[in-house]
Amino acid sequence: MKKLDVIRYRFVAFAISLAIIALAPVFYLIHGGFNKGIDFGSGYSLNIGIVPVGLYVSSSEDVVLSTEEGAIIVTLPDGESRISLTGKSMEDLSAELESLSVSTRVVTPSLKAENIQVGLNFPMTLSEEEKAINFSTDTVDVTIPEVRDALSSLDGVNVQAVGNRSNGAFQIRFPLFEGMTDEETLESVYSLLYDAFGTDSIVVYQSDYVGPRFSSQLISSSIKAILIAIVLILIYISIRFRPSYAISSILALMHDVLAMLSLILVFDLEVSSTTIAAILTIIGYSLNNTIVIFDRVREEMKIDLNRNVDDVIGIAVYKSLTRTIITSLTTLFAIVPLAIFSTGGIKLFAINLTWGLIAGTYSSNFIAPALLHYFHKLFPINVEKKKIERDYSLIDD
């Protein structure tokens, strides 16, 4: 019967794995630790829009502008007035505001009033100094590379597009810069954006600060999540199979995690919550592949009680090989394009998942079977054979 003699090449497999894993501490020292994202280190997350100004407004009276769905609410000392934005041009909106003690200056008449972009500057208290109101447009042409170029003088800045292109919305994440307070860090980012795109074109939708205490809690929670998942898997496989299968599976999973960490450290990839998601995904994927092979080992043991365990392992790996190749390739077909063409967190997730998939497939077919070869000596997997032989001996007697 055909088999893939993985046990014969176990030392080669172990050497390759050790070489890959050994890169982790080397590059950890070279890079001075992990490249922690905002999730795992102090910093800011900004959601901004880079959209044109459609209107400038001012007032010599006490006027406050706020918004509701499809309308601007003008609050005067003697009450509120509601101005619908639906179907209005800039000239229409300007005329209605003028009638309510608001001075206006139209900048871009072609913009639609209903496309107003409300950021953290609303509600807007007016004064004699003009304030800008921004509007999205289908012709917004600011790109991610342009935003990155504007912030290229700063280290550790991550930029990705958010929502529709017409909103010109981006998420910008950055750590606290060395020698700066949190306020100085934020101001330096704003300053570069203002210089590149104009002060009035920037709309801040959301600004979040992640402090050291929260990030440390997130790190500990992520580690707990991984450990709990591994322990639960160990318990389940010990019940479903025998301890030798369980221990071999868990060590193979730890191999996959360490291999992913090596990739992250070698290429100095950002470590964030998406990294933890990728690790947990690979744990599930790799475990499923390993369990399929081990289940085949168990079934093969029942077919012929006199076969050598190493031969049975080789036959099980060979019989599972077609399924492994098809499953891995179809998954890679979906992931690799994301790793190449996507940006931001999705790109990092896809890169981690691609490497984790390769490492997991390798460990399921070479490392886990090799480990089973050794742990079988401590916790025999052919106890069914011995039990049946004892039963037959009793019949003979």
d(CA 174, CA 195): 18
Residue 395: its pLDDT value, please? Answer: 45
* CA 250/CA 257 separation, integer angstroms: 11
Distant-in-sequence contacts of 243-247, Cβ < 8 A, 24+ apart: 243/375, 243/379, 244/372, 244/375, 244/376, 244/378, 244/379, 244/380, 244/381, 245/294, 245/372, 245/381, 247/371, 247/375, 247/379
Write out 315-383 in H/E/C secondary structure.
Answer: HHHHHHHHHHHHHHHHHHHHHHHHHHHCCHHHHHHHHHHHHHHHHHHHHHHHHHHHHHHHHHHHCCCCH
CA separation for the pair 103, 63 (Å, rounded): 11
What is the 8-class DSSP label of residue 99?
A: T
Q: Which of 11, 316, 6, 271 is nearest to 158 (CA)?
A: 271
SS3 169: strand
Q: Are 30 and 45 in contact (CB under 8 A)?
A: no
Query: Which of these, 231, 227, 183, lies nearest to 207 by C-alpha position?
Result: 183
- pLDDT value of position 388: 43
pLDDT (0 to 100) of residue 214: 61
What pLDDT does residue 213 have?
64
pLDDT at 194: 93
Selection from 151, 222, 186 nearest residue 44 by Cα: 186
Residue 32: CB atoms within 10 A of its CB come to 8
**88 DSSP 8-state letter:** -
The reported pLDDT for the residue numbered 174 is 84
From the first residue on, what is the mean pLDDT of each consecutive set of 10 residues in the chain (397 residues)?
84 94 93 76 83 92 90 90 91 92 92 88 92 84 86 83 72 80 85 92 86 68 81 78 84 91 90 84 86 87 76 90 89 91 82 92 93 87 53 45
Q: How far apart are CA 255 and CA 263, in angstroms?
A: 13
Q: Comparing C-alpha atoms, which of 11, 199, 231 is closest to residue 121?
A: 199
C-alpha span between 281 and 274 (Å, rounded): 10
Residue type, 170: F
pLDDT of 236 reads 78
Distance (Å, whole) CA 91 – CA 95: 6
Q: What confidence score (pLDDT) does residue 41 get? A: 67
User: Residue 254 burial by CB count (10 A; 0-12/13-18/19+): exposed, middle or buried?
Assistant: middle
**For residues 132 and 201, what is the distance between their CA atoms, to the nearest angstrom?**
8
pLDDT of residue 345: 77
Counting Cβ atoms within 10 Å, is residue 125 exposed (0-12), middle (13-18) or buried (19+)? middle
339 backbone φψ class: left, alpha, beta (φ>0; ψ -120 to 50):
alpha
What pTM value is reported for the model? 0.64
- At residue 130, the 3 state secondary structure works out as coil
